[in-house]
Structure 1
Amino acid sequence: MPRVKKVPLRMCIGCQEMKPKRELIRVVRTPQETVEIDPTGKKSGRGAYICPHPDCLQKAVKGKRLERSLECTISPEIIETLRQGMVK
């Protein structure tokens, strides 16, 4: 009987749903206190996962879930950069 690979799940901070890690975008607060999108998922720092949909980002920002997850304040410029980075 073949072994089934375990799929890592993460919770989207916007819609609060558990989804496979590969479907989500990782937003990371680096040790230099900058917030950026982590396409590889391997940058060091505090991370949060969010769906690649603008409405999930809006929910995360409105409910201050992104700030709470990354444990820092987030400027509107960074939010706009994230919004543009989500468009694939």
Structure 2
Amino acid sequence: MKVKKVPQRTCLGCKTIRPKKELIRVVRTPEGEVVLDLTGKKSGRGAYTCPKLECLELTFKGSLLERALETEITAEIKENLRSEIVKLLR
């Protein structure tokens, strides 16, 4: 039998390589909106982070998320992403 290849992605914050299903995708939609993509199927430019608030904060601190998504991340967007991650961790 063939062994199915598991897609791997790198967390922007901690730089660890993990299976795609273990990470959360942050996507910039074609309309320019920045949101979490829990399904991993929304159209747009995406970047991956661990489901931890610490990793998300690291992406903000070094402007890594802005560079990856090629857009400006405002304070309001950052707060929305933080609150969505906190909801997931509960």
Give the TM bin, normalised by the shorter chain: over 0.9
What residue number does 2:17 align with? 18
Q: Is 1:43 paired with 2:42?
A: yes
After superposition, what is the alpha-carbon deviation per residue over 1:21-73, rounded to whole angstroms, capped at 9, x for unaligned? Answer: 00000000011011001111111100000001011011110010000000000
Structure 1, unmatched stretches of 5+, are none
What residue number does 1:69 align with? 68
Report the 3-state secondary structure (helix = DSSP H, G, I; strand = E; otherwise coil) of the residue aligned with 2:84. helix
RMSD: 0.8
User: TM-score with structure 2 length normalisation?
Assistant: 0.92
User: TM-score with structure 1 length normalisation?
Assistant: 0.94
Structure 2, unmatched stretches of 5+, are none
State the identity as a percent.
57
**1:52-63 correspondence runs (5 A):** 52-63=51-62
Structure 1 ranges of 4+ moved more than 6 A: none
In the alignment, the residues of structure 2 paired with residue 16 and residue 27 of structure 1 have an alpha-carbon distance, to the nearest angstrom, of: 15
Work out the number of aligned pairs and report it: 87
